[in-house]
Chains A and B, each alone.
Chain A
Amino acid sequence: MAECYFCTFMPIARIFALIFIAALLNGCEEPVEMDIPAAEQQTVAFASQSCNDTLRVFIARTRHIYDTAVNRGCDPSAIAAIVYKGNETRLLYNGERFSAPGFKAMPGDTVVLRIAGDGGNYTRAQAIVPESTVNHSVDIALSALLIDDVYYSRVQLDFYDPAGETNYYEFSLNVIFTENDSSYTFGYHYFKSFDPIMVNEDIMQYEPITMLFSDAMFNGSAVSIPLYYFLGFWNDKYQKVVVVSELRNISREHYQYYKTLYKEMYNESGIWSGMSMPFSIKGNVENGAGLFSLFTSTHDTVVYDFR
């Protein structure tokens, strides 16, 4: 008898199961009207650059989340200055950013950025240029690894980490392609690494524009990290390819800002997912938002001349 019931049950169950699974998979997504009150406008300051370069600061204002204006540029009406060794220097708007021509900070220096705000309030940020400048070298082995039909080139990063307090690093790879006697630069961020240092930093989990890591696992010692990039320049159309690696010695604030920024950009933890608690990306700008960071950096260059 049980078989009969089973036979009767199964076709009905199949139909119900399909309805159930279809409902479960499709679920339902609909817009929700949530009244989000206007928050107080804040000043945004952003600079992330080598202390050797001319200081350029992006200054803007925050806007309501539902604001549909397309303007994303700098606010030319801002009044900003830097305070360095007790001297205040007014920043000048150059049509794109606010800059301080001729200004140069050295490792260990403290630079303060001040932006005038409403009612005599100031937005303030302080950058301390890291003390040490760390030399590095890279060794490249083209097409060293094949994973899922993609050839990866191994970029072996070597440097010596100064002992002492925790150092924070940022590594990036730019490639200058020369083709038909003209050049363009491409910042690589298609990357894999299985090295414990990188795995520990979760860099595998998103595609980094730059790689941020600390010396927690190698403080005060020489380190050699294999990194795998998709460097597809064996194509004979290029006349010349120059690979420029950059190792930055950055502040803790810079490390944390970009870590959380990348996490929001590449992990499903931002406002577009809804799967976890969202978070504000905290910089070092007081009474405002953004990041003011000056770092030291070294470069290494590998040239492939195909001419």
Chain B
Amino acid sequence: MTSVRNTFTGIFLKSGILILILAGIFSISIQAQTISGYISDSGSGERLLYAGIIDLQSGKATTSNSYGFFSLTPPAGSSKVAITVSYVGYLSDTLILNHLQRDTVLHIRLKAGLELKEVEIKATAGTGINSSAGLMRLNAKVIKALPALGGETDLIKAYQLTPGVQQGHEGTSGLHVRGGSPDQNLIMLDDVPLYNINHLGGFVSAFNTDAVKNSTLIKGGFPARYGGRLSSVLDVSMADGNLSKTTGNLSLGLISARVSLNGPIQKNKSTYLVSFRRFYFDLIAKPLAQRANPGSTVGYNFYDLNIKLSRIINTNNKVYLSFYNGDDKTLAGFKEKKDDGTDYYMQINRWGNTMAALRWNHLFSSRLFSNTTLHFTRYRVNNHLESETNSGNNKYLAENNLLSGIGELSLKPETEYHINPEMRIYSGIQLTYRYFKPNNYTYDVSEGNQQLQPGHNHQMLIQAFEGNIYTGAVITRPAGHTFEFGGRINTFFVKNHVYFIPEPRIKAGFKHNNNLSSFISFDLMSQNMHITGNNSIGMPVDYLLPATQKLPPSLMKQLSAGLEFRSGNGMIYTSELYYKHFSRLAMLKDGASLWEGRENWEALFARNGKGRAYGAEFMASRNEGNPTGWISYTLARSERKFDEINQGLIFPDQFDVRHTINVAMMLKIDEDADLSLAWVFNSGYRLTLPVSKYYIPVEVGDYTYMNEMYIYSNRNEFKTKPYHRLDISFNFHKQKKRYLRTFTLGIINLYNQRNPNAFYFTEIENFGPNNTRYKRITLMQRSFFPFMPNIGWSWKF
């Protein structure tokens, strides 16, 4: 253990020293002046992330980072510099700086302009600025424009329309990225992971689009700053709030209402944003239930509360405080008045996330930017049951509480050093304390003041510590070629065991001419936790458990490559190939569940599973003009192999979908109306079905009955029928004196295709020869979303 600790310390020290030496060498060698600062929206002051900045004379370029900061150093001796700043959906701006003799800090504000240029697909090194491979960004405007269930626009559903992403079961918020499972996605809100993003059984995600500024989905070519999950990173940024005036939004949909307000606390200094969303099914269900059964209570609701505060302390310092709380709640019970008292029963289930983050941006110099994040996040499921029964003079009380969850406290300082326009290095350390509570429960039964049996209080707490160090360098050559290489060391302590996992990350982009570029990347990712669930319906039935000595962290290696062609008419054609190899996967054994023996939960998992996923993604997109949108096709395969599952044979993943076509289109009809549509087609997901049956005698007392048993096919041997659906939405805008009113009319599943959400069997009575009756087992398909109209209304002021 001591030697391991020494090795760990040694790696940290060596890596830190190496970064310092590199930074020092480059700092000494560069004598040119640097232009740095922030890019923001001229109206709201909102920082613009990933904006492009080009030095027109040298052709050198850079991008703003995830906090809107940029740094550009023109060649030494340049006394006059012209830079152009551009950002999708905004008018480009060119600035000329004369007599540049020292480092200069600029705050560049861009005016919103090209309204329809909202989709930014940076799949490859096409611009020569961003070499990110396998990356897609959607901003809030696109997400809000797409058709939505019940009028509730959803970020996750928008990403389900992108290539390489499968949605899982009908209507759910599962993201199956390039053959991965939903637990393999790192989903972050303001740099903080959220562990469960499902509301309403997965039909709605936790992201309130009113509070979202930007989002990025990374499927491959992962920067070293990201880690902890195998398959994807979804990085969502909350809006900061308007620096100059108060603005807001009120939306009413069929299933929920949203309200948000943001503005300056101190003009041009500090901002606030408060956004609240509530599902109001319970407001309808409660009166109905009470009318049908007086005394009864039944209901379901969820809410999301986003709060963000930011303050510019001075030119070099800015702080952000982000808070999110979202909860689902079901309740069912009754209260019955009797002559001798009141009988009462109530069951309340709650699940949800709470997250808080404090972030501090600091500029050490015009080239050295830093961000420090301190965050807490937790997800918990709580089932509470209480009952009170009165009988004569006796009163019986029972109270049962079940709690499971996961939480973490983390500190992450990170720096970004712009050595020159051609090279920047970033590095950081993340220290995390994480706890797992797979199942804690208490139970009390009492009669009057006397406890009938000792109150039980069973606690199960597993603690883990994670230390990550990462560094990466991004080199952009004048010819437009880009190279990013770096690495991450995942250090994980759990149950007196420690893991060191080095994760190299390499990607290279090549610009062949102004229209054609290509890239290749290699990633190794690791994941320090396993999920117990064996379904993907998005219900809070899954438990997150840490990797341990018996169940080591899972690994994934991915090689991906792609081409991008930009035609003169604004069309972008991309294609990507990927091959992923999974190892050390863990999955619950057939029929096992955590309930079977929580004390010995590691034995319930099949371990050392392997998997592979490979495919090709093709996309044609249009980001400018009218209409905008994309068409994509994905050809994919995903397989798993566990010694203890499916007799050790390779089996397809449940969401191994061979062909997927997505169409998303946004059309501006005129100044006051626009139309969006989304069509999805996939060739069907996988099923395990019983193929044989037999009977066994089961004896109960004097009685013996024959119990029907089933023998199933190989895992996921069958395939469902193709899935396809067309959703459409019209938005009608009316600019009033003080606000913009938008009326939305949408239809989900326009041509009423019955797509499967689940399959089950039932016995249907049939008639045979001579009118003899017999029962036949029949496979049934359950669909949730037939033709469904929806309307919504919003006021933006």
- Which of A31, A66, A67 is close to B780, meaning CB atoms less than 8 Å apart? A31
Number of contact residues on B: which range applies?
Answer: 35 or more
Q: Check A271/B596 contact, CB under 8 A, given A2-B795, A144-B452, A260-B591.
A: no
Label chain B's interface by main secondary structure: strand
A302 at the interface (CB under 8 A from B): no
Contact check, B694 vs A147: say whether CB atoms are below 8 A apart. Answer: no
What interface size band does chain A fall in?
Answer: 35 or more
Chain A residues with Cβ below 8 Å from B693 are 62-65, 67
Instruction: List residues of chain B with CB under 8 Å of any chain A CB.
Output: 150, 252, 254-255, 281, 284, 343, 345, 387, 389, 391, 394, 396, 398, 400, 441, 443, 445, 447, 452-453, 456, 458, 534-535, 537, 590-591, 593, 595-600, 654, 688-703, 706-707, 709-713, 718, 721, 736, 739, 741, 754, 756-762, 764, 766, 768, 774-791, 793, 795
Q: A21-B284, A30-B754, A201-B597 are in contact. Are A36 and B691 (CB under 8 A)?
A: yes
A187 at the interface (CB under 8 A from B): yes
A-chain residues with CB within 8 Å of residue B593 when the two chains form the complex: 202, 263
26 inter-chain pairs at a CB distance below 8 angstroms, sorted by A residue, are A6-B252, A13-B252, A16-B791, A19-B788, A34-B718, A36-B718, A39-B713, A66-B776, A145-B396, A145-B445, A146-B394, A148-B343, A148-B387, A184-B701, A185-B701, A186-B701, A200-B598, A201-B596, A202-B595, A217-B599, A226-B453, A261-B707, A265-B707, A271-B690, A274-B759, A277-B688
| A189 interfacial by beta-carbon distance below 8 Å | yes
Q: How far is the CA of A50 from the CA of B711 in the complex (A)?
A: 27
Stretch touching chain B among A105-113, A124-132, A231-239, A279-287: A279-287
Binary CB contact string for chain A from 199 to 230 against chain B (1 if under 8 A, 0 otherwise)? 11110010001000010110000000010000
Docked Cα-Cα span, A287 to B398, in Å, equals 49
A5, A32, A195, A277 — most chain B CB neighbours (10 Å): A277
Asked if B535 and A277 make an inter-chain contact with CB atoms under 8 angstroms apart, the answer reads: yes
B702 and A184 contacting across the interface, CB-CB below 8 Å = yes
Which residues from B are CB-within-8-Å of A32? 721, 756, 759, 779-781
Complex: A187 Cα to B710 Cα, angstroms: 25
A120 is an interface residue with CB less than 8 A from chain B: no
In the complex, what's the smallest C-beta–C-beta distance from A260 to chain B, in angstroms? 4
Q: Which of A21-48 contact B (CB under 8 A)?
A: 21, 23-24, 27-34, 36-37, 39, 41-42, 44, 46
Q: Is A91 an interface residue (CB 8 A)?
A: no
Interchain CB contact under 8 A, B445 and A27: no
A184 to B778, CA, bound (A): 38
CB contacts (< 8 Å) of A19 on chain B: these are 788-789
Give chain A nearest CB distance to B602 CB in angstroms: 12
Considering the chains assembled together, what is the distance between the CA atoms of A160 and B712 in angstroms? 40
Q: Which of A269-307 contact B (CB under 8 A)?
A: 270-282, 289-291
Residues of B within 8 A of A33 (CB): 779
B634 smallest CB distance to A (angstroms) = 24
Q: For A189, what are the chain B residues with a Cβ–Cβ distance below 8 Å? A: 700
Contact with B254, one of A20, A39, A72, A264 (Cβ below 8 angstroms): A20
Tell me the minimal C-beta distance from A251 to chain B in angstroms.
16
Q: Which residue of A lies closest to B754 (CB)?
A: A28
Docked Cα-Cα span, A274 to B782, in Å, equals 9
Interface of A: prevailing SS: mixed
Does A196 sit within 8 A of B, measured CB to CB? yes
Nearest A residue to B400 by beta-carbon distance?
A194
Closest to B715 in A: A277
Contact at B759–A199, with CB atoms within 8 Å?
no
**Do B697 and A205 touch across chains, with their CB atoms under 8 A apart?**
no
Contact A209 B710 (CB under 8 A): no
Q: Which of A16, A42, A60, A276 contacts B711 (CB 8 A)?
A: A42
Interface presence of A136 (CB below 8 A) = no
Q: Which 3 A-B pairs have the closest CB atoms?
A: A274-B760, A202-B595, A187-B701
Q: Are A31 and B453 in contact (CB under 8 A)?
A: no
Tell me, yes or no, whether A94 is within 8 Å of chain B by CB.
Answer: no
B710, B784, B791: which contacts A13 (Cβ < 8 A)?
Answer: B791
User: How long is the Cα–Cα vector from A144 to B445 in the complex, in angstroms?
Assistant: 11
Task: Kindly list chain B residues whose C-beta atoms are within 8 Å of the C-beta of A209.
Answer: 698, 700
Interface residues of A, Cβ cutoff 8 Å to B: 1-2, 5-6, 9, 12-13, 16-17, 19-21, 23-24, 27-34, 36-37, 39, 41-42, 44, 46, 58, 60-68, 70, 72, 144-149, 174-175, 184-187, 189, 194-196, 199-202, 205, 209, 214, 216-217, 226, 259-261, 263-265, 270-282, 289-291
Q: Is the CB of A20 within 8 A of B255?
A: yes
- Please judge, given known A-B contacts A149-B343, A201-B596, whether A289 and B783 are in contact too, CB under 8 Å: no
Choose from A23, A63, A174 the contact partner of B701 (Cβ within 8 Å): A174
B739: which A residues are within 8 A, CB to CB?
A: 2
Measured between alpha carbons, how far is A29 from B776 in the docked complex, in Å? 17
Closest Cβ neighbor of B456 among chain A residues: A196
Knowing A145-B452, A148-B387, A275-B537 are in contact, say whether A61-B590 is a contact too (CB < 8 A).
Answer: no
**Bound state CA distance, A172 and B776, in angstroms?**
34
Residues on A with C-beta less than 8 A from B787 are 23
Asked if A272 contacts B761 (CB within 8 A), the reply is yes
CB distance from B538 to the nearest CB of A (A): 11
* Chain B positions within 8 Å of A70 at CB level: 774
Our pick among B537, B595, B692, B775 for the contact of A63 (Cβ within 8 Å) is B692
Q: Which residues of the other chain, B, contact A64 by a CB distance below 8 angstroms?
A: 691-693
The answer to whether B254 touches A16, judged by C-beta atoms less than 8 angstroms apart, is: yes
Q: Do A29 and B791 touch (CB < 8 A)?
A: no
A194 to B447 Cα, complex, angstroms: 15
Verify B696–A290 contact, CB threshold 8 A.
Answer: yes
Given A194-B400, A200-B598, A202-B595, output 16 extra A-B contacts at Cβ < 8 Å.
A1-B736, A19-B789, A27-B784, A27-B785, A37-B691, A39-B713, A60-B695, A62-B711, A63-B694, A65-B692, A145-B396, A175-B701, A196-B456, A202-B596, A263-B591, A280-B710
